[in-house]
Structure 1
């Protein structure tokens, strides 16, 4: 399934701050913690907790958030379907990076072990 330019633009303009509370709600509803969520985001982006909070406070777009990030060298190991899109087939880098994050949050909420989520096992 290919993303459309309109879809990619919508993702680029979306703010990290608008989505972050939904990530928190999703993982906490399933018994995971905000600290675990922060760990997952840090693994993917290289940002520490203070930097993540700065992006939330400044209402940075996903475009800014991921352009500043240093993506984990093992991020390419994140595979599967999220939001109806097979991650491996997404061609637009920004959309792929956002879907990486969505997939990691989904795995966290589903109770997957942290070592598996962080692709270290």
Structure 2
């Protein structure tokens, strides 16, 4: 999927899939929300609002209050590509989120996921 195509995916469509993935692995929606809020700077209320409206990833990240400065510590592979090597900034943010949700589903503690 090209960078342009991935940025046009609706966050509203993907968010419930993140929650389902976490819940299948006995994690919670609250943990998913914690991760997304940590990454984007959104409050839980702002996140709930964005999850309820039709917003694509491009707009979701463009409107984010503050991308966490510790994102440079997120490393690993998503869809066969190392997230730290992705050149397109928007695609990298989306893949950071994918990586964090993967870590949650694999049982990693929230403290480690949030690079604390």
Bin of the TM-score, shorter chain as denominator length: over 0.9
Q: Moved runs in structure 1, 4+ residues, more than 6 A?
A: none
Shift of 1:11: 0.9
Matching residue of 2:56: 61
Shift of 1:32: 0.4
Q: How many residues align?
A: 115
Aligned CA-pair RMSD: 0.9
1:31 and 2:26 equivalent?
yes
1:90 and 2:86 equivalent?
yes
Partners of 2:30 and 2:84 in 1: CA distance: 28
Shift of 1:85: 1.1
Kindly provide the CA deviation profile for residues 62-91 of structure 1, in whole angstroms up to 9, marking residues without a partner as x: 000111111101011100100111111100
Runs (5+) with no aligned partner, structure 2: none
- Per the normalisation by structure 2, the TM-score is 0.96
Partners of 1:57 and 1:25 in 2: CA distance: 16
Partners of 2:87 and 2:115 in 1: CA distance: 22
Counting only pairs closer than 5 Å after superposition, residues 1-121 of structure 1 correspond to structure 2 as: 7-69=2-64, 70-120=66-116
